[in-house]
Structure 1
Amino acid sequence: MNKPALAIVVPCYNERDVLHETAKQLKEVLNALISEGLISPNSKIVFVDDGSRDETWRLIEEEKSGSEHISGVKLSRNFGHQGALLAGIHSAKLWYDCIITIDADLQDDIHVIRDFIIQYQNGAEIVYGVRKSRSTDSFFKRATAQAYYKFMRKLGIDLIYNHADFRLMSKRAVRVLEDFEERNMFLRGIVPMLGFKSEVVYYDRKERFAGETKYPLKKMMAFAFNGLTSFSIVPIRIVSLIGVLSFCLSFLTGVYAVVQKLLGHTESGWTSIIISVWIIGGLMLMSVGLIGEYIGKIYWETKRRPAYIIETDLTDDDQES
């Protein structure tokens, strides 16, 4: 089998504290694979600057000037993690036989990239990097993550358990991925839908090398909700939240009304009316909010806005040279 040209796509958002170390470690892995004859010498690492507000892009340019195996893509603004992944994948699709996506924080074990390549050479079109366990997570994060995966499975959404966005895709798989025309792609749900031969590589997740996480609790919850609806509309989500709060308030008010009734402090019929109005009102608001999520998704899809906009693409320069 010919040596495949590999592109490692690394989305970056305000990663100045870790970028040099990430580039260093990935170059070591890439050079080892080239020396072993597993991949082509034309393989590269493609950093995607997702509208960073620090010196991330300048550092990417520095890394490129110092290594033939480094390239970069700069987006015009912040499009989010999934948009940055797509930008990197689409920029590399014409020049590389397989593409690996990995975050810049070095939490994913880069040394299993070798196992990815071996699985690819054995015929796998998609290789998933899957965490062996969540022992390093807090109890809350571990419990909510497990509940989320189970809930998605019950809804018929085929997610790979304990898999994020550390994966290998062949050029064939990437081309088919382009047929999915959603403006807001939830790759963790879409990639398993491709149906090609896939394999799993297990690894131990590490602590973040430096800097702060780009997925605090609020952002993680938003991302999870996005996976359920394919997109999220903030104003309609607020309506849903109002519905939930209204329902909770109706429950508390109902308890109060029952107590008042038992104490004989109310007129006949007052309790049932209050409970009915508040509970039904809360349920209606929640229902309108849920329906609104799907209407909002349709609204954004019909606009056909791009998932990302590239300001500078250094991969073009690589091919011209």
Structure 2
Amino acid sequence: MNKPILTIVVPCYNEEAVLTETVSRLRDTLERACRDQLISPQSTLLFVDDGSRDRTWTVIKHSIEDYKEVTGLKLSRNFGHQNALIAGMETANPYSDCVITIDADLQDDVNAINNFLIKYHEGFDVVYGVRNKRETDTFFKRNTALLFYKVMERLGVKMIPNHADFRLLSRRVLDEFVNYHEENVFLRGMIPLLGFKSTEVYYNRAERFAGKTKYPLKKMINFAIDGITSFSIVPIRMVTVLGGTVVGVGFLIGLYALIQHVLGHAVSGWTSMILSIWLIGGMQLTAIGVIGEYIGKIFKETKHRPRYTIEKQLVSATTKDRFKTTAL
């Protein structure tokens, strides 16, 4: 069996509380996969510090000193979870046959990684980690997530329900992915667009091992808006349809008012006038907001700014010859 070089990419943002345990579990996972002849002994862990304000980078540096398979990437500031993933994927691509991305909070089951690799050896280029159930989520988060997937499906966006960013990608998927240069990144929608042979591995999602979630309600809302507006123009079309509907209703109301005037039954109505003003005004503001969201994204895309900036890249002394070390 051919033994591929695997890199496990782990984005980190203020993960000091959990990172030591994460390093330990992922090292055990690499060792087990090596024993099972699934990966090469040259396989590594790549931790990407996304501008953390705690001791995350210090923990990463100590791990690099202690373990030859641990490498680290420090971004110059917080670029966001999706960009941190891309930084790790693009850095790992030149020396890896496949990459697995996983969050640092240990909610995704590291034991499923062996199953990912088995599917890779069966010829799959993309392996999605999919939750069996969402019992660890709150009632609100569970139901809003299901609503989000349904909305995205109705908008024509291909996504894998109950899949986050726990996945395996082969090198040829990564080679193709680098051709996607958009500023507004939504990996859960972008990866299925590539169209390579894919499959799913189901696992039970655990509670966060330590620390606090990095996706509060505000970030979840922004994430959902980015996902919708990055892959579909249906919201703008809906605004157009809504505008046409309002014009049609307005025409009928005007016709009714004209008939009442001719019949001599016209009565000035303050309430109906105020309600009409508020209704139409609210619709106009909503329409402007939706259109503005798309214009804002166009504005960002035209700048062509880099999605991330690497400040430091560190590897252990025993594996330095396999990496290009930078210190910007």
Change (3 A) 1:221 1:320: closer
Residue 47 (str. 1) matches residue 47 (str. 2): yes
CA distance in 2: counterparts of 1:320 and 1:195, whole angstroms? 30
Q: Distance in 2 between matches of 1:96 and 1:165?
A: 19
Q: Distance in 2 between matches of 1:48 and 1:286?
A: 38
Contact 1:71 1:318 (C-alpha < 8 Å) held by counterparts: no
Question: CA offset at residue 108 of structure 1?
Answer: 0.2
- Once the two structures are superposed, residues 144-197 of structure 1 have per-residue CA deviations (whole angstroms, 9 ceiling, x without a partner) of 111110010000001100000000000000111111110121000000111000
Distance 1:29 1:11 in 2: 17
Normalising by structure 1, what TM-score?
Answer: 0.87
Code of the aligned partner of 2:322: Q
Q: Assess if the C-alpha contact under 8 Å between 1:9 and 1:85 holds in 2.
A: yes
Runs of 4+ in 1 over 6 A off after TM superposition: none
Q: Supply the AA of the counterpart residue of 1:208.
A: R
Matches of 1:273 and 1:145, distance apart in 2: 39
Shift of 1:320: 4.9
Instruction: Name the aligned partner's letter for residue 111 of structure 2.
Output: H
Greater alpha carbon shift after TM alignment, 136-145 vs 5-14: 136-145
Aligned to 1:319: 322
**What CA distance in whole angstroms lies between the structure 2 residues aligned with 1:3 and 1:220?**
38
Q: TM-score, normalised by structure 2?
A: 0.85
- Equivalents in 2 of 1:115, 1:31: separation in Å? 15
1:100 is the counterpart of 2:100: yes
Assess, with a 3 A threshold, how the Cα gap between structure 1 residues 320 and 146 changes in structure 2: closer, same or farther: closer
3-state DSSP of counterpart to 1:107? coil
Aligned partner of 1:283 in structure 2 is 283
Aligned ranges for residues 153-192 of structure 1 at < 5 Å? Answer: 153-192=153-192
Aligned length: 287
> Whole-Å Cα distance in 1 between the matches of residues 270 and 183 of structure 2?
50
Unaligned runs of 5+ in 1: 232-266
Within a 5 Å distance, the mapping from 1:1-321 to structure 2 comes to 1-230=1-230, 268-314=268-314, 317=320, 319-320=322-323
Residues 73-94 of structure 1: per-residue CA shift (max 9 Å, x gap): 0000000000100000000000
For 1:268, the aligned partner's letter is S
Q: Which moved more, 1:78-87 or 1:218-227?
A: 218-227
* Structure 2 Cα separation of the partners of residues 23 and 46 of structure 1: 10
CA distances 1:95-127 after superposition (whole Å, capped 9, x unpaired):
000000000000000001000000001000000
Aligned-partner SS, 1:211: coil
> RMSD of aligned C-alpha atoms?
1.6
Structure-1 residue corresponding to 2:238: none
Identical-residue share of aligned pairs (%) = 57
Note the residue ranges of structure 2 that are not aligned, 5 or more in a row.
232-266
- Partner of 1:91, secondary structure, is helix
